[in-house]
Structure 1
């Protein structure tokens, strides 16, 4: 048996039948699709952006060394952009999950674990 944490008190006991029922439930499949709709494009987008930065750093040193103002060059701005995009993706995921995922996941969890529909 698996223990599933909840918001109040100790985790309830979850039976094997409940887990199988959850994985077979079309609403659970829909939840996984909703999650992948954000995660897959965000992951590929960020990896592409990161690899572009690495490749530019390795093979386009002249471009990366262009001074934009003061002591700030293209490489520094793109490097800082990595941090900004990381926080941006985290913020976007939080908004996406709260709008498209969390309520449905909580309802499915409560129905399967506690046997109640809200």
Structure 2
């Protein structure tokens, strides 16, 4: 069991649900074909420079959608951990994740020590 109180978890859950709702709406808006720029909107006449600008815009939009999607996945996973009564418990070592960490990063699934070790392995 975690050292985070039920009230604290409820507050974090509410915060995550609101963020998830907002992300879903943003992704819906970003994927709306009617809101996308066309070559004409870019002011282009179809030359290679205009095409490069349009491709950059599409790539940027896709990257933003990808980041939003990953954040939505992380939020859903954290909400699942709350539902399973394992929120605030490190998935690697089983120790408690301190409240300050989940306050700053509500989707944290590892304690600071395990996350730091994981990041150090990735750097090597």
TM-score, normalised to structure 1's length? 0.42
Structure 2 length-normalised TM: 0.40
Q: Give the number of the structure with larger relative contact order, counting CA–CA contacts within 8 Å between residues 6 or more apart.
A: 2
Q: Specify the structure having the higher radius of gyration (Cα).
A: 1
Q: Is the helix fraction higher in 1 or 2?
A: 1
